[in-house]
Amino acid sequence: MGSETKSAIIDATNSVLCEHGYAGLTVQKIADEASMTTAAIHYHFDTKAELLDAFLDDLIERFESKLTFEPTDPRDRLAAFLDQVFTPSNPDADGFPVAMMELKAQAPFQELFRKRFRELDGVVREVVGEIVADGIDDGHFAETDPDEVARHVATTINGAHARHVALGEPLDETRRVLENALERQLGWRPESGVAA
Amino acid sequence: MGSETKSAIIDATNSVLCEHGYAGLTVQKIADEASMTTAAIHYHFDTKAELLDAFLDDLIERFESKLTFEPTDPRDRLAAFLDQVFTPSNPDADGFPVAMMELKAQAPFQELFRKRFRELDGVVREVVGEIVADGIDDGHFAETDPDEVARHVATTINGAHARHVALGEPLDETRRVLENALERQLGWRPESGVAA
């Protein structure tokens, strides 16, 4: 079936990207990884950029599906969001944050990538903005601008990613910085690693 | 003279990096840009990694020299620091932030680069930490942990860089987010673009 093949190609793209990086990503390697011919891959994706666009689309979809919290206490939702973002989904795949960094560096030349990264940023900010707005309504968080908090959280997450890759700084350290900042903004401190 | 030649090679490296990116950086292009032979470049730098290490070292030195403020009001020093960081040194060189992003993505594989990025981060945090400590002593800033503020500022700057490259977000937007955060932390708001 077409969508199963596509999904296998996207999985293989993820593996090759994590192992060989953006520069080492070739259709041949993806074909080898997926046990397919390069022709089969070209049938589904005209260019490497289209393939990576589909890869990013899939990534955002999976990220979004993990962020669908039950309508529960906004404090729990915010803690769960931080757990989700600061816990690597696959601790073995050290190459994944590096590959994402490379794709971000390509965004100025690849409008498709930039669009996806903006989409991902939109998801993060919308989710955080809603949680904060609910928490203010419930009286759990201090009065503040939810969109401003969301933008701040998104920027700090971007900083955490860059520091993790460039400096080798553990994600937990940036998480602590963000928790301190949220405490100042919301008058409430998320408990680190409650869901871990 | 040796150091003049080195400095010409580093300038040429900067130009080639901004124009062609990390993947397009070759000793031949640097030689062409500097009007030298590749042999002359290899005489000074054994490998591309060593050359980029020298380039980053030079960058940090120039950055540090710009951050040497007169011992004046900590509020002015903090505003000047933000101007320095959020105003591109060369507005024409769009390629520069992209190239830095690429080098950060290489840091996990190039210990030399990682060391330099840690050094740069150390400079940022030390400068901010000192300004904040002085501002607290002077009674201009609220009591807080200067190192924590410095870490927060450094992380936000890293986020600003990533957002600028990946999303095309103007640096001014992240600056505003940081100013809001500093106002909460220090009880004082830097005036945007006073020195601009």
Would an 8 Å CB–CB cutoff place A184 in contact with chain B? yes
pLDDT of residue B190: 76
Residue B170 lies in a domain: yes
A162 and A81 in a common domain: yes
Would an 8 Å CB–CB cutoff place B168 in contact with chain A? yes
- The overall average pLDDT reported for chain B is 90
B95 and B34 in a common domain: no
Kindly determine whether residue B177 and residue A151, on different chains, have CB atoms separated by under 8 Å: yes
Kindly indicate the confidence band of residue B196, based on its pLDDT and cuts at 50, 70 and 90. Answer: very low
Number of inter-chain CB pairs under 8 A, A vs B: 113
Kindly indicate the confidence band of residue B151, based on its pLDDT and cuts at 50, 70 and 90. Answer: very high
pLDDT of residue B12: 94
Query: Is B61 exposed, middle or buried (CB count within 10 Å of its CB: 0-12, 13-18, 19+)?
Result: exposed
Which of chain B's residues have a Cβ under 8 Å away from the Cβ of A161? 162
pLDDT of residue B88: 74
Please state the three-class secondary structure of A127-174 as a single string.
Answer: HHHHHHHHHHHCCCCCCCCHHHHHHHHHHHHHHHHHHHHHCCCCHHHH
pLDDT of residue A29: 96
B112 and B15 in a common domain: no
Kindly determine whether residue A101 and residue B105, on different chains, have CB atoms separated by under 8 Å: yes
Residue A85 lies in a domain: yes
Kindly determine whether residue B161 and residue A166, on different chains, have CB atoms separated by under 8 Å: no
Residue B191 lies in a domain: no
Instruction: Provide the domain count of chain B.
Output: 2
Kindly indicate the confidence band of residue A1, based on its pLDDT and cuts at 50, 70 and 90. Answer: very low
B40 and B92 in a common domain: no
Which of chain A's residues have a Cβ under 8 Å away from the Cβ of B165? 104-105, 107-108
Residue B27 lies in a domain: yes
A119 and A60 in a common domain: yes
Kindly indicate the confidence band of residue A190, based on its pLDDT and cuts at 50, 70 and 90. Answer: confident
Would an 8 Å CB–CB cutoff place A148 in contact with chain B? yes
Kindly determine whether residue B118 and residue A151, on different chains, have CB atoms separated by under 8 Å: no
Does residue B192 have a pLDDT over 70?
no
Residue of chain B minimizing CA distance to A154: B159
DSSP chain A: -HHHHHHHHHHHHHHHHHHHTTTT--HHHHHHHHT--HHHHHHH-SSHHHHHHHHHHHHHHHHHHHT---S--HHHHHHHHHHHHHS-S-TT-THHHHHHHHHHHHTTT-HHHHHHHHHHHHHHHHHHHHHHHHHHHTTSS-S--HHHHHHHHHHHHHHHHHHHHHT---HHHHHHHHHHHHHHHHS--PPTTTT-
Kindly indicate the confidence band of residue B92, based on its pLDDT and cuts at 50, 70 and 90. Answer: low
Query: What would the pLDDT profile of B111-145 be if each residue is shown by its tens digit?
Result: 999 999 999 999 999 999 999 999 999 999 999 99
Residue B40 lies in a domain: yes
pLDDT of residue A87: 84
Query: What would the pLDDT profile of B54-67 be if each residue is shown by its tens digit?
Result: 999 999 998 888 88
Q: B190: closest CA among B37, B104, B77, B36? A: B77
Would an 8 Å CB–CB cutoff place A156 in contact with chain B? yes
Q: Which of B107, B152, B157 sits opposite A177 (nearest CB)?
A: B152
Question: Which of A100, A121, A165, A174 is best to mutate for the B interface (most B CBs within 10 A)?
Answer: A165
Q: What number is the average pLDDT over the span A150-160?
A: 96
- Count other Cβ atoms within 10 Å, centred on residue B48: 16
B77 and B53 in a common domain: yes
A104 and A78 in a common domain: yes
3-state secondary structure of B141: coil
Kindly indicate the confidence band of residue B1, based on its pLDDT and cuts at 50, 70 and 90. Answer: very low
Among A125-134, B1-10, B31-40, the range scoring the smallest mean pLDDT is B1-10
Does residue A193 have a pLDDT over 50?
no
Residue B194 lies in a domain: no
Would an 8 Å CB–CB cutoff place B96 in contact with chain A? no
CA distance B195 to B63: 17
B51 and B7 in a common domain: no
B42 and B53 in a common domain: no
A60 and A24 in a common domain: no
First to last CA, chain B: 37
Query: What would the pLDDT profile of A37-90 be if each residue is shown by its tens digit?
Result: 999 999 999 998 999 999 999 999 988 888 877 778 999 999 999 998 998 766
Q: What number is the average pLDDT over the span A96-116?
A: 93
Kindly indicate the confidence band of residue B89, based on its pLDDT and cuts at 50, 70 and 90. Answer: low
pLDDT of residue B72: 87
Residue B15 lies in a domain: yes
Would an 8 Å CB–CB cutoff place B185 in contact with chain A? yes
Q: Which two tokens stand for residue A195?
A: 């869901």
- Residue A167 makes CB contacts below 8 A (sequence gap 6+) with B107, B114, B117, B118, B121
Query: What would the pLDDT profile of A3-14 be if each residue is shown by its tens digit?
Result: 889 999 999 999
Would an 8 Å CB–CB cutoff place A144 in contact with chain B? no
Residue of chain A minimizing CA distance to B162: A158
Domain that holds residue A64: 56-186
